[in-house]
Every structure is written in C-alpha cells, then in structure tokens.
Amino acid sequence: MKVLFVINPIAGRHRSQSIIPIIKEKMKNKDIEYKIITTKAPKDAVSITKYGLKSGFNIITAVGGDGTINEVATGILSVGHGTLGIIQGGTGNDLAKTLNIPKEPHKAIDLILKGKTKVIDIGSVNGRPFLNVASIGVDSQIAQNIENIKKYFRGKTAYTLGFLKTIFSYKHKKLKVKVNNNIIDRKVLLIAIGNSKYYGGGMEICPDSIIDDGNFDICIVNEMPKYKVVTLFPSVFKGEHLKYKKYVEYFRVKSLEIEVLDKAYLNLDGETYPISEKLLFSIYNKKLNVICN
Ligand SMILES: Nc1ncnc2c1ncn2[C@@H]1O[C@H](COP(=O)(O)OP(=O)(O)OP(=O)(O)O)[C@@H](O)[C@H]1O
C-alpha cells in the first residue's frame, strides 16, 4: 500500500489544512509509504493524482469536499487504475455521506488503512465525470448566485441571500428531455440526474438512487407557484419531496439527453457551469474503486 493525500487547502473554509497534522500523527510509526501534496489552484488535484499513480501510489486520498473528490476521480479514470480514498474536508461531503465515511479524520484514515473497497458507477455528461448529482434549474442558479454574492458577503449571509434572491427572481426553465425515444417537454423548477442520492450538503434529491446499479435516478420538479416552493424545499432534506406527486416526477434510466431552451447553469458535484450545448448523460463504461465503510 502506498498512499498519496491530496489536500485542497481552501476546502471547508480551510478545514482541510487542519487535517495535515492528524495525517502525519496517524501515519507516524506505520510501515506504509505516504506523501502529502497540497493543491495550489483549481484542477490541480487531477494532475497530482495522475502524477501519484504514475509514481506507484495506489490509493489517492482526496482531503476536501466533493469538488476535490471529483478531480481525484477524474485523474484515476484517465490513468485507468488506482483507488479513491476520502477524508471529509469540504463544506459539502455528499459522497462521503453515501459511502458512510466517518466525519472524524482519524477514523477516515483508519478506514483507508483497512483497505475495504467498493466499485461504484461514474456519471458522465458530455464526457465529463460526476459522482453525486448533476442538476439544472433553481438549485444550480442558487449555487451560481451564492458564488457571486460571496464576493461581497461571507458564510451563512451569502447562502441566505443567494437562496432568497434566486427564489424570488427565478424563471422556470424550458427543457426537452429525450429518454427511451420519448420526448418530455417541460417547464421545470429543476431536473436532477442522480448517480447517488445527495447534493448541496445533504439534500436527498434522488432518495432511491443506488451508486452501483448502473442507472441514474431522475427527479423532475415541474413548474409550481413560488409559495409552494417554500413548502417543498425543506422536504428535500429528508428525501420526502416525492410525495408532492402533482409536481414531482421520478424515474430510473441508463441514459438521457437534455436540451435546455433557456439560459441556465449545470451543477456538477457542486460546481456550476453555463450551458451552451445539448447535454448527453450516460454511465461511464469504466467504474471507480473507492474505499468505503
Ligand atoms: N489551492 C486551491 N486554490 C483555490 N481553489 C482550489 C484549490 N484547490 C482546489 N480548489 C478548488 O476548490 C473548489 C472547492 O473544492 P471542494 O468542493 O473540495 O471544497 P468545498 O469546501 O466543499 O467547496 P464548496 O462548498 O465551495 O463547493 C474546487 O472547485 C477546486 O477546484
């Protein structure tokens, strides 16, 4: 076993950095080769992972949130071998929740050293991998607005302002969803494509999703009055929104195509991107080996 720890120093408002001494303390006196590398910029974790695997490390541990995990997974997939380890250091940590990785760093390190693994699916949108959930609609707009507001306000204020600004100004998005040769033509509050259950730091948007079943769970929340959004929103934290059958559709597919007819953003494992083309979702032909509990 050779373990590389990839630290995103800004993840979790710098929480990841405080995990470095814990790693050093735990690895002291263990007969295991390890190295710690800190990223210097976004996407660094991809190249660090590739470097690590080519240098003989077989477990690449992401110390950060879902953005960092996504980058390490991207590196592992491109090299074609290697196991993903996770130490929760982000604000989100949705994959860690799915895989039952302990919150405490020292327990997560013990788990890595035990070496129990699971093979999971990887979602792909136009060739770009994601592990948790991809979504389009009010949620990706909230994430985008929070990023903008963070330039002026910090912490919870940014999140609250981002949420309120979006809910009151949001215009439902017109989509064409092609699935199993049927076209679903809809104005939606959001559509979520779940490789696993959670996004946004524990919201159970695709509550029945199974991370190794070779399928996506799709949740479409259709156009609804604004006051209803305020009622429905809290239910997503417990995955109870599926009971609002008048507005919520839920199904399971292997692939789908989405054409977005309005200006919108794509949220992919917590990062947002403007949408400028048709989106083709499929399960990657490669799977990912990941340390689990
Ligand atoms: N050294 C760095 N400086 C700035 N950004 C970085 C650095 N290393 C990684 N990043 C970027 O930080 C972003 C957030 O990382 P991650 O999701 O792991 O943490 P997080 O605390 O959960 O973040 P957030 O809640 O803001 O999404 C990723 O997009 C990643 O590319």
**65 close to ligand 1 (CB < 6 Angstrom):** yes
Count of domains for the chain:
2
Residues 83, 138, single domain; the answer is: no
Instruction: Give pLDDT, residue 14.
Output: 85
Ligand 1 centroid distance, CA of 223 (Å)? 32
Residue 107: inside a domain: yes
**Apex 122 CA angle, 119 and 123, nearest 5:** 155
Ligand 1 centroid distance, CA of 124 (Å)? 20
Residue whose Cα lies nearest atom 6 of ligand 1: it is 42
Span 240-271, pLDDT tens digits:
999 999 999 999 999 999 999 999 999 999 88
* Residue 18 DSSP label: G
Instruction: Give pLDDT, residue 157.
Output: 84
Give, for 259, the enclosing helix (H) or strand (E).
strand 255-260
The helix/strand count (H/E) of the chain reads as 9, 17
Distance CA 70, CA 65 (A): 9
Asked whether residue 98 carries a pLDDT value surpassing 80, the answer given is yes
Q: Are 136 and 265 in contact (CB under 8 A)?
A: yes
Residues 51, 159, single domain; the answer is: no
Q: Please say which residue of 88, 115, 142 terminates a domain.
A: 115
Residues 16, 45, single domain; the answer is: yes
**123 close to ligand 1 (CB < 6 Angstrom):** no
**40 close to ligand 1 (CB < 6 Angstrom):** yes
Q: Please say which residue of 115, 136, 165 terminates a domain.
A: 115
Q: Which of 5, 6, 7, 8 to mutate to test the pocket of ligand 1 (most atoms within 8 A of CB)?
A: 8
Residues 76, 186, single domain; the answer is: no
Pairing of strands 279-283, 265-268: unpaired
**74 close to ligand 1 (CB < 6 Angstrom):** no
Q: Please say which residue of 86, 115, 144 terminates a domain.
A: 115
Angle at which helices 105-114 and 20-27 cross, to 10°: 40
Task: Fill in the amino acid letter for 141.
Answer: Q
**270 close to ligand 1 (CB < 6 Angstrom):** yes
pLDDT over 90 for what percent of the chain? 80
pLDDT band at 15 (very low <50, low <70, confident <90, very high): confident
Residue 293: inside a domain: no
Asked whether residue 154 carries a pLDDT value surpassing 80, the answer given is no
Residue 145: CA atoms inside 13 Å, Cβ hemisphere, count?
A: 21
Distance CA 83, CA 76 (A): 7
The pTM of the full predicted model, rounded to 2 decimals, is 0.93
Distance CA 55, CA 49 (A): 10
pLDDT band at 123 (very low <50, low <70, confident <90, very high): very high
Instruction: Give pLDDT, residue 128.
Output: 94
Instruction: State the residue range of the domain holding 53.
Output: 2-115
CATH number at 7 reads: 3.40.50.10330
Asked whether residue 156 carries a pLDDT value surpassing 80, the answer given is no
* 90 closest CA partner among 292, 278, 269: 269
Q: What is the mean pLDDT of residues 182-189?
A: 95
Which tokens in the block code for residue 222?
């259709």
Residues 85, 192, single domain; the answer is: no
**If you average pLDDT over every residue of the chain, what do you get?**
94
Give the residue ranges of DSSP H helices in the chain: 11-14, 20-27, 44-54, 66-79, 94-98, 105-114, 138-149, 155-169, 226-235
Asked whether residue 25 carries a pLDDT value surpassing 80, the answer given is yes
Q: Give the C-alpha distances (Å, rounded to integers) separating 113 from 32, 57, 116, 171, 293.
A: 9, 14, 9, 49, 12
Residues 48, 149, single domain; the answer is: no
Distance CA 64, CA 49 (A): 14
**23 close to ligand 1 (CB < 6 Angstrom):** no
Atom in ligand 1 nearest the alpha carbon of residue 92: 22
Pairing of strands 59-64, 2-7: parallel
Distance CA 188, CA 283 (A): 24
Distance CA 135, CA 151 (A): 24
